[in-house]
Each structure stands twice: as C-alpha cells, then as structure tokens.
Structure 1
Amino acid sequence: MVLKDIFQSDLVREIEESGNLKHFKAGETIVNMDSYIKNIPVVLSGSIKVIRTEEDGREILLYYLTPGESCIVSILSGMKNETSKIKAVVEEDADIMLIPADKAKEWVKKYPDWTEFIFDLYQKRFEELLDVVNSVAFQKIDTRLLHLIKQKVLLYKSKEISVTHQQLADELGITREATSRVLKQMEKEHLLILSRNKIELL
C-alpha cells in the first residue's frame, strides 16, 4: 500500500515531508489508553488491533486497521488534544506513517480528500462498533469466537493462524476456560482443527 493509492499528489507530498515512516514488530503498542495522541498512524503494511481496556484489566477487540487505514479515535483525540480512549497494538509486523496531530487538523481545511478519508473511516468504524455491541449483547460465545477467527483468517490470508486461547479470550473479553471449552466443541463439530498455539479453520 502506498500513499498515492489513497490521496492526491499534493497531500502525499505533505505527508511524506511531515510524517515519520516507522516499522513496528507484532506485539508492540503504538497507542496507550489515557495517553495524548501526538502522532496519528496510517497503516501502509501489516495490521493493528484496536482495543478498549477496562479498569479491571479486561479487554475487548473493537476493530482491526489494515493497509490504507487509520484509527478514527486517534485522529479525533489528536486533533482535539484529548487523551486516547483506546489501545492500539501491532497485530502483524507493520510499516506505519506517523502524522503529526496538528498537521492532521490543518489538512481538514486544506485537502478535501483528507476530510473524505476521515469521514469514510468514521462510517466504517461506527458500523464495526455496532457489530461489537450487537455481538456482546446478543450473540453466543461460539458465534463471537468463530467470527473472530474468520476475521483473523482474512487478515493473515491463511486458514491456519497462530493464536493462543488466551489471546482470543482477551480480545473477546471472556475467560480462557470458556474459550477453550467452546473451541474444543467447535473442533468436535469439524469447524476447525486445534494444535499448539495454532488454529486451522475448515
């Protein structure tokens, strides 16, 4: 993914001049809860998972960021100089363009395609958050778990994914024991195959 695939040439030039391209390894945290957003991430390769963490330590996955996307919560917090309400962790090794928050705010008035990019992100993330609310409120654990595994299969472009039961439990905000129990039942139903730290979707 290159910036010219998303933005017009004038904006691409400004992003390259003002931004800072960095490589992050899987597992690195790039945005922490309650921290001020000084730089807004635009994913060029790899992926990021955006998480909400509660005071008791429980987490729930909100959505993934893939190439060509940014975090709307980070954009809004950065432009308003407010602390982050989310945590962003690199899912796959990623190349990320870090854009100064003050530039992001300036470009809203200067570049229509940047404004359109923000509105498109807002709409997409709002729909995804509605899915999360619907999932937590109305769906059973097995449905939520299968949906998450399918998301990861699409993300990694492989039917076999490397993930622990604890990681899945954390992302869904449920216990590891419940996760393992449901996964074993799904294996009995021939929906997937379990092996050490790996799951293959059938």
Structure 2
Amino acid sequence: MNYDILLQKFGSTLDENLINEIFEKGIFKNFKKNEIIIDINQPLNFIPLLLNGDIKILREDSEGNELLIYFLEAGETCTMSLTCCMDTSKSKIRAVAEKDTSLIMIPVDQMHQWFQNNESWRNFILRSYQTRFDEMLEAIDNIAFMKMDERLYKYLSNKAVLNASKTLLVKHQDIAEDMHTSRVVISRILKQLENENKIKLGRNKIEILSV
C-alpha cells in the first residue's frame, strides 16, 4: 500500500531504482491534523516527502507570533528543512499538519548520497528549491504591493485550490494567525468580501463563490 502511494506521488519525477531505495530506507509516518511534524530549533536528521495531506510551514518572531511561509502538497518536500540538513543546523521553521497527513522520512546521509549519484533526485531537489523561491517572491510581492483584502482573498482562493473544495472549514482566528494580523481585522475584511459577493460566511465556514 505505502509503496503504491510512493510510486503514485513520486514515480513521475524519481526513477524506479530510487523509489525502491526510498521505500527500503525511509520511515513512514502518519500525523493527525494540527500535529507538529518539525519544530523550530529541532535537530534535523531527516527530510519529509509528503505522500498524502497538506503541511503548512511557519516561521516565528521573537515574541512567539507565527507567520505562514508556504504550504506543502502531496508529492513535495520541504526545502527549508533541506537547507538545515545541508548545514547540519537546527530547524528554522515549524511544519504543522494542515489535515491528516502521511509522509516518508528520508535520512540525511541518504539525501546527500542520492544528490551526488542520482540525477532524478538531484533534479527533484533543485526544482523544489525553484518552486519555493518563486513562492517566496510571490509572498514578498503580496506583502509589498497588495492590499490586505486582496491578500486575504488570494489566501482563501489558494486554500480552496489546495483542498479541492470551495468550502473552507476554518476559524477567523486561524486565518489571522496565518496572515500575522488580528482576528478583528480578518473578520472585518471577510464581511467586506461577502458584501462584494466574493465569499459567503457561515459558522466556522467560508464558501468561495468564485476561484
């Protein structure tokens, strides 16, 4: 079962021999929604390959406030944990299961070895860095150039695509934490978006009317 999922999610990017090695040497793990997968300052001796579910990657400021950096989907890995593994340093991010999630953990020494001798792995890692870099640029552009209502609607639209559903089961406080602002601000802008017929609000539920 795990092998079939691994092959389905990564078979188009990684060669068959490597898939077999990952299956033999990786450790399969399951996490419930909101469980911490990687925490800040945690020593890293593995990198995650996401098989099912979604993971949100967060940073934390000096006062303990969290800021959403990006989401991971099935078939992806966390490049920020890759960087920490390369430097043999502690984690600078927190990875939290957005929903029930399964992944396979790859030991650091294997990651280094495959990067040297397996072209498909090397290309996968380099593409992952490029994807995250592009997302970071987009995040900077959003903060610098987009108004808060535009950022919030983009956030909701992205979550709808990620969950393959226009109905989001989410609390205003959770959105506020992801966007590094207050619940009052989020509630006010959500009401504005509803008045503009972009969303429909319910109890701990938001329906996107167009994506």
Match for residue 170 of structure 1 among 177, 184, 194: 177
Distance 1:69 1:180 in 2: 32
Letter of the aligned partner of 2:185 in structure 1?
A: A
SS in structure 1 opposite 2:53? strand
Distance 2:27 2:17 in 1: 17
Distance 2:149 2:121 in 1: 39
Runs of 4+ in 1 over 4 A off after TM superposition: none
1:90 aligns with 2:97: yes
Distance 1:37 1:162 in 2: 32
Match for residue 79 of structure 2 among 72, 81, 95: 72
| TM-score under structure 2 length normalisation | 0.92
Equivalence for 1:15: 22
SS in structure 1 opposite 2:54? strand
Letter of the aligned partner of 2:56 in structure 1?
A: K
Letter of the aligned partner of 1:26 in structure 2?
A: K
Equivalence for 1:55: 62
SS in structure 1 opposite 2:50? strand
| TM-score under structure 1 length normalisation | 0.96
- CA offsets per residue over residues 34-64 of structure 1, 9 Å max, x none? 2111111000111111111111122221111
The equivalences for 1:28-47 within 5 A come to 28-47=35-54
Taking only aligned residues, the RMSD between alpha carbons, in angstroms, comes to: 1.1
Q: CA deviation at 1:2?
A: 3.5
Match for residue 150 of structure 1 among 157, 163, 187: 157
Match for residue 4 of structure 1 among 8, 11, 30: 11
Letter of the aligned partner of 2:96 in structure 1?
A: V
Q: CA deviation at 1:132?
A: 1.0
Give aligned-pair identity as a percent.
Answer: 38
- CA offsets per residue over residues 149-181 of structure 1, 9 Å max, x none? 001100111110111111111111111111111
Distance 1:37 1:136 in 2: 30
Distance 1:189 1:129 in 2: 29
Q: CA deviation at 1:138?
A: 2.0
Q: CA deviation at 1:82?
A: 0.8
1:179 aligns with 2:183: no
Distance 2:107 2:155 in 1: 32
Distance 1:59 1:138 in 2: 22
Equivalence for 2:120: 113
SS in structure 2 opposite 1:125? helix
Distance 2:21 2:185 in 1: 49
CA contact (8 A) 1:164 1:198 kept: yes
Gaps of 5+ in 2: 1-7
Distance 2:73 2:179 in 1: 19
SS in structure 2 opposite 1:186? helix
SS in structure 2 opposite 1:52? strand
Match for residue 107 of structure 2 among 85, 95, 100: 100
Distance 1:152 1:2 in 2: 20
SS in structure 2 opposite 1:27? coil
